[in-house]
Amino acid sequence: MKALVFTATGVVESHDVPEPEVGRDEVLVHVMTSGICGSELHGVRTPGFRVPPLVMGHEFAGRTGDGQAVTVNPILSCGTCDLCAAGLRNVCRNRQIIGVHRPGAFAERVAVPASAVVPLPEGLGWTAAGVTEPAANAVHAWRLAGRPAGARIGVIGAGAIGLTCLQVALSGGAASVEIADRSPERLAVGARLGARATVPELTGEYDVVFDAVGGAATHEQSLARLRPGGAAVWLGLADHVAGYDAADLVRGEKRVLGSFAYDDADFAGALDLVAQWDLSWVETFPLDEGADLFTTLMNGRATPVKALLSPEAR
């Protein structure tokens, strides 16, 4: 079957690969859509995050052998560790991710544990299905922030995670959302979706700031722009450096919350939301064009903000 394969640092290529082996308690999913994630662009460019050769792709949907439309929760947890027992399966001590630790969905077919399969609601389109996984990250971050309806929200970064944070905040009743990015094209999307958009940094004061970039400078900005008592929720992973003013954090009783992935309830919540959203910022391309597209995005092109690959697209 056809697949997009990460073969070496900086290189993804179209290859013919063997059909997936479907293990016990697994099902074969015929892929209809698989989103290119910023973490994959970073992981191909930067040694140490993904181990080649690898078929990536962890944001996907398709059909099972009996024709059922499904998406897949790619976070595989062990179910037996203390964190799983505590209901924190997103940070399971033995977690694996489809498309990271085992072959993913940049391919015509992918084998997944039956327990990871989530049936799609009737009538949900493939575009919406394809952004369920990034949206689930945003639903989780919004929940960690205490679902702050009525709050003034700042969002740093207008990629897929930042835009889904924006959309979750507006769906959740935020008083206002301001979004900042260096890319005018991406900010135009944020403005269209209902946010105030600013280049390159946030300018106001916020009750909650979501940092969807995760660099030292955005960490610093996310705290500097908070009101005392506010919370910064960090989703981005661009840099290991924290970079913020710790004395300001203490004197202002500010909080920093790390947000990683989602649980099953967040994932289900995302499925409800994506059905209602404007997803005009999401574009679908043939899987055949995946190598060129991936390389262009990896080299810094800002658009399409979210690219989905489909073996069915022409």
Q: Whole-number minimum distance, CB 50 to Zn ion, in Å?
A: 12
> How is the chain classified by DSSP, letter by letter?
-EEEEEEETTEEEEEE-PPPP--TTEEEEEEEEEEPPHHHHHHHHSTTSS-SSB----SEEEEETT--EEEE--EE--S-SHHHHTT-GGG-TT-EEBTTTB--SSBSEEEEEGGGEEEPPTT--HHHHHTHHHHHHHHHHHHHTT--TT-EEEEE--SHHHHHHHHHHHHTT-SEEEEE-S-HHHHHHHHHTT-EEESSS--S-EEEEEESS--HHHHHHHHHTEEEEEEEEE---S-S-----HHHHHHTT-EEEE--S--HHHHHHHHHHHTTS--TTEEEEEGGGHHHHHHHHHTT---SSEEEEETT--
In the numeric block, which tokens belong to residue 69?
Answer: 């439309």
Sign of the dihedral defined by the CA atoms of residues 195, 199, 200, 206, in that order: negative
Measured from the CB atom, the residue of 148 and 159 that comes closer to Zn ion is 159
Measured from the CB atom, the residue of 207 and 266 that comes closer to Zn ion is 266
In the numeric block, which tokens belong to residue 179?
Answer: 């979004």
- Cβ proximity of 226 and 237 under 8 Å: no
- Cβ proximity of 34 and 285 under 8 Å: no
User: Within positions 235 to 274, which residues make up the interface with Zn ion, using CB under 5 A?
Assistant: none
Measured from the CB atom, the residue of 40 and 178 that comes closer to Zn ion is 40
How far does Cα 277 stand from its chain's mean position? 16
Binding residues with Zn ion: total (CB under 5 A): 6
Q: Whole-number minimum distance, CB 245 to Zn ion, in Å?
A: 30
308 binds Zn ion (CB under 5 A): no
167 binds Zn ion (CB under 5 A): no
Q: Whole-number minimum distance, CB 158 to Zn ion, in Å?
A: 16
- Select from 4-12, 36-44, 104-112, 219-227 the region that touches Zn ion (CB under 5 A): 36-44
User: Within positions 61 to 90, which residues make up the interface with Zn ion, using CB under 5 A?
Assistant: 77-78, 81, 84
Measured from the CB atom, the residue of 176 and 303 that comes closer to Zn ion is 303
Pick one of 31, 32, 69, 92: the residue that binds Zn ion (CB under 5 A). Answer: 92
Q: Whole-number minimum distance, CB 220 to Zn ion, in Å?
A: 25
∠ at Cα 101 (65, 263), nearest 5°? 75
158 binds Zn ion (CB under 5 A): no
Q: Whole-number minimum distance, CB 282 to Zn ion, in Å?
A: 14
Measured from the CB atom, the residue of 92 and 139 that comes closer to Zn ion is 92
310 binds Zn ion (CB under 5 A): no
Measured from the CB atom, the residue of 50 and 109 that comes closer to Zn ion is 50
Q: Whole-number minimum distance, CB 49 to Zn ion, in Å?
A: 12
33 binds Zn ion (CB under 5 A): no
Measured from the CB atom, the residue of 75 and 151 that comes closer to Zn ion is 75
Q: Whole-number minimum distance, CB 37 to Zn ion, in Å?
A: 3
37 binds Zn ion (CB under 5 A): yes
Measured from the CB atom, the residue of 237 and 257 that comes closer to Zn ion is 237
Q: Which residues contribute to the site for Zn ion (CB under 5 A)?
A: 37, 77-78, 81, 84, 92
